[in-house]
Structure 1
Amino acid sequence: MPSPKMLKLADVLEEIGMSRAAFYRMRARGQAPRIYKLPNGELRIRRADLDAWWDQQEEQPAA
């Protein structure tokens, strides 16, 4: 089974169009995709976790 695709934080920030500071504020509120910290201190986000986060951001239609 292949390992999951892990994205660098810089790539994620570019994709979602957000600054690092705004992302960290969102992370502090518990609203960011799940993050994995590598032994060297770098941060990674699984592609599947980012896609799931995108799905959660979709606005629900008004009833």
Structure 2
Amino acid sequence: LARNYLLSLPLCCKVPWNRLFPKADSKALDLLDKMLTFNPHKRIEVEAALAHPYLEQYYDPTDEVMNPDP
């Protein structure tokens, strides 16, 4: 059902994020683009997103709490 709906939508060209948000930080737009990638197999993973340059000032991998029992 969802696939049929998507196939029924008209094709359109991708609008660059910097055209929609011209004053936004380029690193933020890069991360946004990677997080909003439609194909989940091509979408950025959590670990890679946290290590992205836009978040480097907030994320410290040594500060991670690991659960020994998943």
TM-score, length basis structure 2: 0.27
Higher relative contact order by CA 8 Å / sep ≥ 6: 1 or 2? Answer: 1
Bigger radius of gyration:
2
User: Which structure features the higher share of strand residues?
Assistant: 1
